[in-house]
A and B are shown apart, each in its own frame.
Chain A
Amino acid sequence: MSQRPTRKSYYEELRQRGYSRRDFMKFCATIAAYLGLETAGAGQVVKALESKPRIPVIWLHFQECTCCSESFIRSSHPIVADILLDKLSLDYTETLMAASGHQAEQCMRDTMEKYKGEYVLCVEGSVPTEADGVYCMIGGRTSLDILKEAGSNAKAVICWGSCASNGCVQAAKPNPTGATPIHKLLSGVPIIKVPGCPPIGEVMAGVLVHIITFGRIPELDGIGRPKAFYSKRVHDTCYRRPFYDAGLFVETFDDASAKKGHYLYKVGCKGPSTYNACGVTKWNNGTSFPIQSGHGCFGCSEEGYWDASALYLRNQPFPGFGIESDADKIGTAAAVVTVAGMAAHAVMTNVRKSRLISNLVKEGKKAEKDL
Chain B
Amino acid sequence: MSTHKLRRVFVWQLPVRFFHWINALAIVTLCVTGYLIGKPPALQFSGEAYERYVFGWIRYIHFVAAYIFLFNFIFRIYWGFAGNKYARWKNFIPTTRKYFEEMWQVLKIDILQIKSKEHLVVGHNALAGFIYFLTFILFAIQCVTGFGLYEAMSQSWIAGMFAWVSPLFGGDFDLRQIHHITMWLFILFTIVHVHLVFYHDYVEGRGEISSMGGGWKFIEEEAFLREEEEPASNAKKVA
Contact = CB atoms under 8 A, between A and B. Distances in A.
A276 B118 CA distance: 61
Given A222-B167, A346-B199, A249 B42 contact: yes
B4 interface: yes
A328 B55 contact: no
Contacts of A59: none
Interface in A246-290: 246-249, 251, 256-257, 265-266, 270, 272-275
B157 interface: no
Given A331-B184, A338-B191, A349 B203 contact: yes
Contacts of A318: 177, 181
B35 interface: yes
Nearest to B176: A273
A302 interface: yes
Given A247-B43, A342-B195, A353 B203 contact: yes
A359 interface: yes
Interface stretch (B44-52, B70-78, B129-137, B139-147): B44-52
Contacts of B205: 360, 364
Interface residues of A, number: 61
Contacts of A357: 202-203
Contacts of B15: none
Contact of A328 (B35, B40, B52): B35
Interface string B171-185: 111101100110110
Q: Mostly helix, strand, loop or mixed at chain B's interface?
A: helix
Interface in B180-215: 180-181, 183-184, 187-188, 191-192, 195, 199, 202-203, 205
A352 interface: yes
A236 B40 contact: no
A96 interface: no
Interface size class of B (residues with CB under 8 A): 35 or more
A273 B173 contact: yes
Contacts of A327: 38, 177, 180-181, 183-184
22 contacts: A221-B167, A222-B163, A233-B172, A246-B53, A248-B52, A270-B173, A273-B171, A302-B172, A316-B173, A327-B184, A328-B35, A331-B183, A331-B187, A331-B188, A335-B184, A338-B191, A338-B192, A349-B113, A356-B116, A356-B118, A359-B1, A363-B3
Interface of A: 166, 221-223, 232-233, 236, 242-249, 251, 256-257, 265-266, 270, 272-275, 299, 302-305, 308-309, 314-316, 318, 327-328, 330-331, 334-335, 338-339, 342, 345-346, 348-349, 352-353, 355-357, 359-360, 362-364, 366-367
Closest 7 CB pairs of A and B: A331-B184, A222-B167, A247-B54, A273-B172, A247-B55, A245-B56, A303-B170
